[in-house]
């Protein structure tokens, strides 16, 4: 059990650090009300999740520890629903209703396409 928690923790830490670097890097270059940094990491994370799930479904990767490390740990730490909802609340509170609607719809639809694309890459 401790080994499993350690693997998830290491994966989550790595995912969180990479999310911070990518999100802040994008936000530095794109100064708009639309939260491009969180949007990008959620779409990239969805693609990676599809790729990882496909590899496990094809039994290319057999070790369950890798699934916990990559999916629960890394992808869980890399993507962020809490930031997504907090950014939408901030958009709504500042009166940017159309931007919030576009953010919600595009995040969900494009992330669904990304997970499908990641899954399809190994099929």
Q: Binning pLDDT at 50, 70 and 90, where does residue 54 land?
A: confident
Q: What is the pLDDT of residue 60?
A: 67
Specify the residue for token string 């990479």: 18
Q: Is the pLDDT of residue 51 over 70?
A: yes
Q: What is the pLDDT of residue 83?
A: 87
Domain boundaries, the chain: 2-120
Identify the burial level of 98 via C-beta atoms within 10 angstroms of its C-beta, where 0-12 means exposed, 13-18 middle and 19 or more buried: exposed
Q: Binning pLDDT at 50, 70 and 90, where does residue 80 land?
A: confident
Closest CA to 73 of 7, 2, 12, 3: 12
Q: Is the pLDDT of residue 116 over 90?
A: yes
Q: What is the pLDDT of residue 27?
A: 87
Q: Is 79 annotated as a binding residue?
A: yes
Q: Which of 52-56, 73-77, 92-96 has the lowest mean pLDDT?
A: 52-56
Q: Binning pLDDT at 50, 70 and 90, where does residue 61 land?
A: low
Specify the residue for token string 């899954």: 119
């Amino acid at each position: 059990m401790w080994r499993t928690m350690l693997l998830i923790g290491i994966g989550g830490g790595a995912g969180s650090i990479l999310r911070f670097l990518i999100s802040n890097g994008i936000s530095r270059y794109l100064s708009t009300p639309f939260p491009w940094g969180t949007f990008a990491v959620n779409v990239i994370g969805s693609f990676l999740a599809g790729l990882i799930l496909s590899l496990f479904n094809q039994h290319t990767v057999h070790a369950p520890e890798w699934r916990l490390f990559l999916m629960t740990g890394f992808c869980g730490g890399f993507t962020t629903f809490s930031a997504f909802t907090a950014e939408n609340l901030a958009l709504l509170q500042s009166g940017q209703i159309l931007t919030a609607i576009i953010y919600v719809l595009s995040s969900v639809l494009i992330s669904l396409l990304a997970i499908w694309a990641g899954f399809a890459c190994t099929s």
